[in-house]
Amino acid sequence: MKTLKTIGIFNIVIGIIAFIAPVKFYSIASKLFIPEVSPPFSFDAVQTTTFLLFIPGIVLVINGIALIAMGYKLEHVPEMKAYSESGGYLGKVKGVEVDSGELEKVEIEGDEVGIYQKENMTAVDDVVLIKEDEKDIKEDVKQHEIVGKEVYDESGSYYGKIESVTLDEQDNLLEFMTIRGDSRTIINSSEISSSNGVILVNRE
């Protein structure tokens, strides 16, 4: 993670240094346009060339910011949890492997330690979602009466519909997962304040 942030800072520094070239070019080229002398090119050409010279620096700065952001994100990997698509808790993310700034695999420590390639992951954000075989989903998913209900907090914010639930051995609700577009949220059952029609949650 420190390596990513270091590379990001290096890219930003190089990008800022790269801005010197177009600034100097513009300054020198502008001085050529004096009443006594008319250069063999227009001022529009100077502006266009200056803009093109800025592009490498801009790309380096943006890339650097992205790498730093990823570095900070991956620092919190030990706090991330992994779930199956059906909502089953798999464990905590123990480690990750990054190649060229892209997540390649994750190591998840639960009842067993498992390593999952990026092809087996459907989403990586605040939680990691791991793909399941269709057969496993049919066998393992436990349906619950609240699946499919809409979820709001007490201030009226919409979290989406409940996609799956996690139950304990006595089939008591532990937590549930909502989906809204590409966004998924894990909510603890203790946060439910009302389940009459829609689900209201109290999230601090």
Tens-digit pLDDT profile for residues 65-117:
888 887 776 665 556 777 776 667 777 777 667 676 566 777 777 666 677 77
Chain Cα centroid distance, residue 78:
16
* pTM strictly above 0.95: no
pLDDT value at position 122? 64
CATH superfamily of 78-138: PRC-barrel domain (2.30.30.240)
Half-sphere exposure of 36 (CA within 13 A, CB side): 1
The pair of three-digit structure tokens given for residue 73, joined into one six-digit string: 């994100």
Which tens digits make up the pLDDT trace of 162-173? 988 888 888 788
User: Strand pairing partners for 183?
Assistant: 180
Domain boundaries of the chain, sorted by first residue: 2-75, 78-138, 142-201
Fold of 142-201: SH3 type barrels. (2.30.30)
Higher pLDDT, 150 or 127: 150
Q: Do 78-138 and 142-201 share a fold?
A: yes
- Picking from 87, 178, 185, 179, the residue whose alpha carbon sits closest to that of residue 141 is 87
173 close to 180: Cβ distance less than 8 angstroms: no
